[in-house]
Every structure is written in C-alpha cells, then in structure tokens.
Amino acid sequence: MHNAKTSYPDLTLSGVLQNIFGFNAFRADQEEIVQAILARQDCFVVMPTGGGKSLCYQLPAHMMDGTCVVISPLISLMKDQVDAAIATGLQAAFLNSSLTASMKRKVETQLADGELDLIYVSPERFAMPAFISSLKRVRLSFVAIDEAHCISEWGHDFRPDYLNLSTIVKAFPDVPVTAFTATATHRVQEDIVVKLGLRSPHMVRASFNRPNLFYKVAPKQNVSAQILRFVGTHAGDPGIIYRTTRKSVEQTAAMLGKHGIRALPYHAGLDDATRVRNQDAFNRDEVDVIVATVAFGMGIDKSNVRYVLHGDLPKNMESYYQETGRSGRDGEPAYCQLLFGYGDIPKIRFFIDQITDMTEKKHAIKCLNDMVHYATVHACRRKQLLNYFGEEWPTLKDEGGNLKPEEPGVQPRSAAAPSLPAAPCCDICSGEVESIEATRDAQICMSAIGRTDERFGINHIIAVVIGDDTDRIKQLGHDRIKTFGIGKDKNRNHWRLIMDNLLAKGLIGQSDGDYPTLTLLPAGREVLFEGRKVHVMKPRKTTKRKRGKRDEKTGSDESYDKSLFEQLRELRKAIAAHQGVPPYVVFSDRTLHEMARTYPGTEDALLGISGIGETKLERYGDRFLEAIRTYRAANPDKKPPT
C-alpha cells in the first residue's frame, strides 16, 4: 500500500487554515476541535448548522496521514460535499448507490491504494462486512460521523441503520472517532456518546446561537397570500418554504409559478429522478424557491439560502431549529418566518395519537407543547431557542473564556458573523409584535362559547361575535344571544387571533374530529367569571426596525456594490455550470460580497478575501480579477463602499 495524498509538512495549523481554506481565523470552537482530532482523541461535537463543521474534519484530513472516513446519511449531498472538498485541494471521493459499477471500482481502488484524504459513505454501506474488511486493509486517520443524532431514539430524526455504528470502536480500536450533530439536547447528547461507545471523548457543545438569523412568527391567516407577499419581499433570493403535506407543497409551488416566481416542489411522493432534478436546480441557482415537506433538507448544503419560511407548524423544536438553520450558512443575514395557527395543532396530534408506546407518545406531546409555547409566548425567540437546548443568554466569551454580557434580544457581534452590526434578533425584540391586554375580548369569545352551549367551532363563534346575518345563525337563534354582534367593530382576523391565543394558553379547549367544537376550560372560567387578566401577542400595524446597514424588508447587507455582486454572481454561475458543481462550491455569497465591497485588484488582495485559499486562487482568481477590472473600467467614478 502506498499513500499518494497531498501533505503540508511545512505549514502550521493557521497556515493550512489561511493558505488552503482562505480563512484568517477559526470560528468559535473550531480550533479546539481540530486540535483534539489531530491529537487522535475521540470527540463529540454539537455545532449548529453554519458553524463550520466540515472544516473541523477537512482540515485534519489535509494534515493527517491516512484516510478519513465520513459517515453520513446525506447520499444526495455527497457529490457536492466531495466537490467542495476537492475545491480546497483534498483528494476526496464517495461510495454510494448512485455510482456505476466502474465508478465504484475506481473509488475502491483509490481507497485501497491510500490515495484518498477523505471518503464519504452511508451508514448502510459501513454496515456491510465486505466494506469493513476492506477498510481494515487501509490506513485510517480517523472516522467522522455526521448527523450523529440519528443514532438516538430520543432525537428528532432517529434512523435504525445508525445503530450499526456502535460497532466502529470495536472494529477499529486504534482509530479515533468524532461524532458531529447540529441539534442535540443534553439527553440526546448522553445517549449518542453511550451508543457509539466513545472513549472519554473531548466534548464540545458550541453555542446554538446563529447571530445572522432573524426569527419571526406571524399569525396564520391567508397562507397563500402571506407566502406570496413574503417571497415578493425577497425577490431573487434563494429560499426554502416548508409545508406539512405533499398536496400543500404542490399547491404552493404551482401558486408561486403562476405569479412568475421560479419555484419547484420536493416531497417523498415524487420519483427519485424528479427529486434529484429539482434539488439540483435549486443548488445550482436555476430556481429561487424550493417548496418542500420535511423530506427535504438533510441533503442540502447550499450556503446562500437567504430565508426559510414555515407555512405550517413543525412538530418539535429540534426540527424547527434544524430547518431554519439551513438559511444563512455563509454567515450573511437570513430571515426565518413561521406562520402559526392553532388549526395546525390537531393535525399533529392526529399522528401523535397513533403512537402506541406511551413513553414515546408523552415525549411527542411535550415536544409539540414546547413548539406551541415558542410561537405564542411574548419572549425573545432566540432566547427561547437557546434555552430549549440548555443554553443561557449571553453566549459569547471574552479572551479569558468568561461569558461576555450582551443585551438580551440583540444580535451580538461574533466570529461567525463579524460584519454584522448589533441589531434586534427577532420580531419580539424589534417591536414588530406587542403584548396587549385582551381580557374583554377574551370574555366576549368565551361568553359566546358558553351561550351557544359549547357545541360549535371557531368559525361559528366568530360569526356570532361579529354579527354575521346568516340563515344558519337565525335558525339557531344565535342572533338573539347577548354577545351577538358585540365585536362587529373589529375584523374577523382580529377575533381569529384572540381565539388562537385562548387555545394556546389553555383557556378554551377544542374537540377532535372533522367538526371540532370549543369548550370552556377551568382557567377560562376564571377569566370569564373571576376577572383573571388575559394578554395576547399581536403584530404592530407599523414597524420600524433598526437593521444597521441591512435592508428593512430582507435583512440583507447593503454595504457592498450590488451591481458588481450580480456580475460576479453570474460569473460564478457560469463557472459552476461548466464544472458541474453548485455555485457555492466555487465561492460563497459572503466571498462575493467582500469582493464587491473592497474591489480587489491583485492576487494578494484576493487571498485576503474570506474563503479564498491558494487552490481556489489558482483555479478562479484570474477570471474574477478580470471581471472586477472590467467593471471598474466601465464605472471609473465608483468607489469601494467601505
């Protein structure tokens, strides 16, 4: 066996980081993780999406002798991951079912001959005895397990095939193992470490804070109109819209298409070829929007997703955090909005009620309640997310490792997004949502429920309150009750908002079935008869957010030359299409923004741009420098924005 891999014996750790990857400094926790891997320790790492996880194993793979095996369930993503690794100068390949027999033999030969720094495989392949045998004849540097939460039955995405990974330590006792996940509560973390059999692992629990993400929850009213309006404010930006059902995915994608927005659906009901084609179109910036069920996302590594919109309520906080985390992976500002309506809760409860294991069922109900609490409580969204994962605000540390005080609800400046000014991090903190006393309106609704004998649903109660003059209301005699028309001075959306808040607060209940009816709960009777106060969250009519140099609607950074950025973006797209890779593999949006902010004119200046190392400079530098020179010649009066 020989080893033909590239090595960098003369470069220090910081030298590899700068010369190979094009970064002047590590992000938070990266250096600590890399040092532990280089010291051949087992590691367990919780690091949020966008935190720079891939660098933590790619950099050691550059420096260590032998081959790093990356185990990942993301088969649809492996080619893009390999392309990105190759772009930094790594010798990388993957083995999965998408390869032809001849391609598979070529990779197996490269692996056997020690020519690979990095090989990506699925957990199913790793479980094959023949593959294990072949690995035992290879010099392995370390094993990296991605999406490690999949091994835990308490995780949000448990996969039985991951249980086979518990044999790694026994099969390769001298090979260090590193497990990575972006979402894990402390309970899931402990379960992962035990199931994998990690040996006194170096533990890193990075901050779950994503300072470049802005979180918002809006009342769910006319979903199609809300989605269309939201996408319109982000015109031209790549975005993901999550819907619960395949039908709603198809309808939303079709609706956007009718309005001239390039959008494609993605769900498990589509054939494999269509799913791959649609995902590739999104990855390659050929469409702006992918509308998807939760079947989409695990195989997406697109760095420039500028927003994630949830049209329906996720079933738990882990899913919500992971799905919103697919935006802003490049560290640039991104927007995460959830449309919340109480009507989504019975749909989720229907599936929970099918669970036969009572412990699992109880856990699922708690997860749902946590999600509803997040959407309905008047408290900083970011702080709620961090608290859920056991992290207290503030999150940043000073040079001595001590926590630095930060103003609650405000995005701190951080290594993950150093260009961002301090700004409100969610709709609560920015003043887009206010908490108002609504005791009288709550009493009106509950009085109507009681006076109609607790036999009717939300729409009928609202119709009574606003005084709808319909034959049905007259036939039932509901036009003669005391609360008929008492709320006619406010519109239907206002009363729907009140009803949703009453349901979320446990003041009224809703029956199951096709025609759910409302009932008064003990806490609601305290409001109705004992004067207990009720406060609800309501969007402000007018909002002025402080967004620094970022756009009021999109949150995008405006401190760069947008015309030059668009030209560089087109050049990137052309190069990527020629190479058959997604544009972000060439350069991230963040790298292009920096070019459009500083107008680099030399190779040395390009090397000073974040994300440009020697390999990318050699491959792409001349074309981007020429594009910048041509732009400056055509616009001699323009000055760099910074």
What is the DSSP code string of 580-599?
A: TS-HHHH--HHHHHHHHHH-
The pLDDT tens digits of the residues spanning 539-566 come to 776 544 444 344 433 344 458 899 999 9
**Tokens found for residue 107:** 């990779």
Reduced to 3 states (helix: H, G, I; strand: E, B; else coil), residue 197 is: coil
- Looking at residue 551, what is its pLDDT? 44
**CB neighbour list of residue 88: distance below 8 Å, 6 or more residues apart:** 20, 21, 58, 62, 613, 615, 616
Reduced to 3 states (helix: H, G, I; strand: E, B; else coil), residue 487 is: coil
Same domain, 229 and 369: yes
Angle (CA) 200-206-207 rounded to 5° is 150
* C-alpha–C-alpha distance, residues 502 and 139, integer Å: 62
In this predicted structure, the answer to whether residue 36 has a pLDDT above a threshold of 90 is yes
In a domain, 349, yes or no: yes
In a domain, 427, yes or no: yes
* C-alpha–C-alpha distance, residues 78 and 87, integer Å: 14
- In this structure, the number of other CB atoms found within 10 A of the CB of residue 249 comes to 26
Average per-residue pLDDT for the chain: 85
pLDDT band with cut points at 50, 70 and 90 for residue 300: low
* C-alpha–C-alpha distance, residues 278 and 290, integer Å: 8
In a domain, 4, yes or no: no
User: Among all chains, which residue has been given the structure tokens 């008869």?
Assistant: 529
Domain range for 406 is 213-432
Beta bridge partners of 144: 70, 178
* C-alpha–C-alpha distance, residues 558 and 247, integer Å: 37
User: Among all chains, which residue has been given the structure tokens 């509803």?
Assistant: 372
The residue among 142 and 206 whose pLDDT is bigger is: 142
Q: Are 302 and 321 in contact (CB under 8 A)?
A: no
In a domain, 545, yes or no: no
The pLDDT tens digits of the residues spanning 60-89 come to 998 999 999 999 887 777 888 898 888 888
- Looking at residue 404, what is its pLDDT? 44
Same domain, 446 and 416: no
In this predicted structure, the answer to whether residue 395 has a pLDDT above a threshold of 70 is no
In a domain, 556, yes or no: no
Same domain, 252 and 399: yes
* C-alpha–C-alpha distance, residues 195 and 45, integer Å: 15
In this predicted structure, the answer to whether residue 28 has a pLDDT above a threshold of 80 is yes
* C-alpha–C-alpha distance, residues 122 and 157, integer Å: 16
- Looking at residue 243, what is its pLDDT? 95
In a domain, 473, yes or no: yes
DSSP 139-160: -EEEEEESSGGGG-TTSTT--G
In this predicted structure, the answer to whether residue 447 has a pLDDT above a threshold of 60 is yes
Beta bridge partners of 121: 71, 95
Q: How many domains does the chain have?
A: 4
- Looking at residue 102, what is its pLDDT? 92
CATH number assigned to the domain comprising residue 467: 1.10.10.10
In this predicted structure, the answer to whether residue 414 has a pLDDT above a threshold of 80 is no
Q: Is 156 exposed, middle or buried (0-12, 13-18, 19+ CB in 10 A)?
A: buried
CATH number assigned to the domain comprising residue 52: 3.40.50.300
Q: Where are the alpha helices (DSSP H) in 505-636?
A: 522-530, 562-579, 583-586, 589-598, 603-607, 614-634
- In this structure, the number of other CB atoms found within 10 A of the CB of residue 429 comes to 23
* C-alpha–C-alpha distance, residues 231 and 252, integer Å: 12
Same domain, 342 and 440: no
Name the residue among 169, 165, 233 with its Cα closest to residue 201. Answer: 169
Lowest mean pLDDT among 151-160, 403-412, 597-606: 403-412
DSSP 553-567: TT--B-SS-HHHHHH
Name the residue among 317, 314, 310 with its Cα closest to residue 388. Answer: 317
**Tokens found for residue 390:** 């056991």
**Tokens found for residue 448:** 């109507």
Name the residue among 90, 143, 134 with its Cα closest to residue 112. Answer: 134
Same domain, 528 and 457: yes
The residue among 537 and 567 whose pLDDT is bigger is: 567
| Residue 238: alpha-carbon gap to chain centroid | 13
Q: Which of 172, 189, 205 is the last residue of a domain?
A: 205
* C-alpha–C-alpha distance, residues 306 and 285, integer Å: 12
Beta bridge partners of 509: 519
Same domain, 38 and 140: yes
In this predicted structure, the answer to whether residue 288 has a pLDDT above a threshold of 90 is yes
Name the residue among 242, 222, 216 with its Cα closest to residue 313. Answer: 242
Q: Report the percentage of the chain scoring pLDDT > 70.
A: 88
CA distances from 321 to 50, 92, 156 (A): 12, 30, 11
CATH number assigned to the domain comprising residue 626: 1.10.150.80
Helix (H) or strand (E) holding 519: strand 518-520
- In this structure, the number of other CB atoms found within 10 A of the CB of residue 602 comes to 10
Same domain, 220 and 365: yes
Same domain, 381 and 237: yes
Give the side-chain half-sphere CA count within 13 A for 300.
Answer: 33
The pLDDT tens digits of the residues spanning 301-349 come to 788 899 999 999 998 998 899 899 899 988 889 999 999 988 888 888 8
The pLDDT tens digits of the residues spanning 465-488 come to 999 989 999 999 999 999 999 999
- Looking at residue 472, what is its pLDDT? 92
- Using only C-alpha atoms, the chain has a radius of gyration, in whole angstroms, of 27
Q: Which of 481, 504, 539 is the last residue of a domain?
A: 539
Q: Are 296 and 241 in contact (CB under 8 A)?
A: no
* C-alpha–C-alpha distance, residues 79 and 160, integer Å: 24
The residue among 396 and 615 whose pLDDT is bigger is: 615
DSSP 165: G
Mean pLDDT, residues 590-602? 93
* C-alpha–C-alpha distance, residues 438 and 441, integer Å: 5
In this predicted structure, the answer to whether residue 154 has a pLDDT above a threshold of 90 is no
- Looking at residue 512, what is its pLDDT? 67
Same domain, 243 and 342: yes
Mean pLDDT, residues 111-132? 91
- In this structure, the number of other CB atoms found within 10 A of the CB of residue 479 comes to 15
Q: Where are the alpha helices (DSSP H) in 166-308?
A: 168-171, 186-196, 223-233, 246-258, 272-283
Same domain, 186 and 295: no
- Looking at residue 6, what is its pLDDT? 53
Same domain, 232 and 381: yes
DSSP 44: E
In one-letter notation, the amino acid at residue 32 is: E
pLDDT band with cut points at 50, 70 and 90 for residue 642: low
pTM > 0.75: yes or no: no
The residue among 13 and 161 whose pLDDT is bigger is: 13
Same domain, 270 and 418: yes
CA distances from 288 to 221, 236, 259 (A): 24, 6, 13
Reduced to 3 states (helix: H, G, I; strand: E, B; else coil), residue 218 is: strand
Q: Which of 379, 414, 432 is the last residue of a domain?
A: 432
The residue among 335 and 496 whose pLDDT is bigger is: 335
Strands 289-292 and 334-340, bridge-based pairing = unpaired
**Tokens found for residue 49:** 């999406």
Q: Is 478 exposed, middle or buried (0-12, 13-18, 19+ CB in 10 A)?
A: buried
In a domain, 337, yes or no: yes
In this predicted structure, the answer to whether residue 403 has a pLDDT above a threshold of 80 is no
**CB neighbour list of residue 437: distance below 8 Å, 6 or more residues apart:** 533, 534, 535
The pLDDT tens digits of the residues spanning 258-285 come to 999 999 999 989 988 898 899 889 988 9
Name the residue among 184, 163, 10, 205 with its Cα closest to residue 73. Answer: 163
Torsional sign, CA 53, 54, 58, 59: negative
